[in-house]
């Protein structure tokens, strides 16, 4: 089964992906995991991605798609796979379709997880992730038994710095801008299934089962690369197709003599049928190009906003780290001052005790 999961951050894609991997025994493929693994393994694509990320830029589509192509070609993906969060735009979707067509593995279904924005914000604000095993928890809907401890492995739970209400709302706006064209793209291909992702995990899982019920994995012959069809010139003549009209076989009847002309028997006629090639109008081409350009511009704008947001977050993080460093220095200075005061008080007490002792000795001497 070849599946794509799309949905806003916090919509539950990761949770349902784990259920689907166990049900179909197929791998879950996420671009973030692929990037980290490729960088750690120092593959050629991983080295390119690392250089780009170190420069503070977004990894381009061709590198991400190359990693997806390599991952899908592995033996454990022969029976299918689950793409979590990929593709994110029309360009990636078209490139993925091209790869899968060549492999003869078309997508069986695209599950889009829809959740109310307020619920998404609540989910993401309360979201906790285990640093060790990656298990997910939520302070509001699925809290851990012990605070800050993973129920599965006992590891520390981590709350992402970018899971604040203001940043989440910005991320949701960017997602909506990119997702609507993608949703329409897969709806046109008749593989899109909308899953209402509100409620608890069990309820959402039931809706996923219902969406996939009766689906069978698709397989198509591996297609060779076809040369692009050249445009039809204006001066081209209409194609002429010769079609032989075959008459149905008559019922068996007694033979009759066939009259002939000039000694020749009757001949079946050939009918010439002219078919004009379908030519797309210039107006339609311009409209399609305009729509594509608008979609690409929107995607580029959203990507730029996402990159700017990431830089803004990095700057805030650096500022917080600097403030923390200054606070630590001030605390250290205050501790040193407090230590000096305590020592001065101690010395003063010792001097007073010594003076008191001397005064007491003097008085005793005078009494004698």
Residues marked as catalytic: 13, 88, 127, 160, 171
Q: Residue 151 has what DSSP assignment?
A: T
Q: In DSSP terms, which residues pair with 82 in a beta bridge?
A: 3, 28
The residues near 120 (Cβ < 8 Å, ≥ 6 apart) are: 8, 9, 10, 11, 168, 172
Structure tokens at 202: 């069990």
> Phi-psi category of 50—alpha, beta or left, where left has phi over 0 and alpha has psi -120 to 50?
alpha
Question: Which two three-digit tokens encode residue 72?
Answer: 């899908």
SS (H, E, C) 177-246: HHHHHHHHHHHHCCCEEEEECCCCHHHHHHHHHHHHCCCCCCCCCCCCCCCCCCCCCCCCCCEEEEEECC
**Residues 217/80, Cβ–Cβ less than 8 Å:** yes
Task: Please say whether the beta carbons of 144 and 157 come within 8 A.
Answer: yes
Interacting residues of 97 by C-beta distance below 8 A, sequence separation 6+: 106, 107
């Amino acid at each position: 089964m070849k599946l794509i999961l799309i949905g806003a951050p916090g919509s539950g894609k990761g949770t349902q992906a784990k259920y689907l991997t166990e049900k179909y025994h197929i791998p879950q493929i996420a671009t973030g995991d692929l990037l980290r693994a490729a960088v750690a393994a120092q593959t050629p694509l991983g080295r390119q991605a690392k250089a780009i990320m170190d420069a503070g830029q977004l990894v381009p589509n061709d590198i991400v798609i190359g990693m997806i192509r390599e991952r899908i070609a592995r033996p454990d993906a022969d029976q299918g796979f689950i793409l979590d969060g990929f593709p994110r735009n029309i360009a990636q979707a078209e490139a993925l379709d091209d790869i899968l067509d060549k492999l003869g593995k078309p997508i069986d279904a695209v599950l889009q997880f829809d959740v109310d924005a307020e619920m998404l914000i609540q989910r993401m604000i309360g979201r906790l992730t285990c640093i060790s095993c990656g298990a997910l928890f939520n302070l509001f809907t699925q809290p851990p038994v012990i605070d800050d401890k993973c129920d599965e492995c006992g590891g520390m739970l981590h709350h992402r710095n970018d899971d604040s209400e203001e940043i989440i709302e910005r991320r949701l706006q960017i997602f909506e801008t990119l997702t609507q064209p993608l949703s329409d793209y897969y709806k046109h291909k008749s593989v899109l299934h909308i899953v209402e992702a509100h409620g608890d995990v069990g309820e959402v899982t039931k809706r996923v089962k219902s969406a996939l019920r009766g689906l069978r994995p698709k397989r198509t012959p591996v297609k060779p690369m076809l040369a692009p069809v050249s445009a039809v010139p204006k001066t081209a003549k209409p194609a002429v197709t010769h079609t032989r009209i075959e008459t149905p076989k008559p019922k068996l009847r007694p033979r009759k003599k066939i009259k002939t002309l000039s000694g020749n028997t009757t001949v079946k006629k050939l009918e010439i049928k002219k078919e004009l090639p379908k030519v797309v109008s210039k107006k339609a081409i311009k409209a399609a190009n305009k729509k594509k350009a608008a979609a690409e511009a929107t995607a580029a704008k959203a990507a730029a906003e996402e990159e700017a947001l990431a830089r803004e977050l990095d700057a805030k993080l650096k500022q917080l780290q600097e403030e923390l460093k200054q606070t630590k220095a001030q605390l250290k200075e205050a501790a040193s001052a407090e230590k000096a005061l305590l020592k001065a008080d101690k010395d003063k007490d010792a001097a007073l005790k010594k003076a008191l002792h001397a005064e007491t000795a003097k008085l005793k001497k005078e009494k004698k």
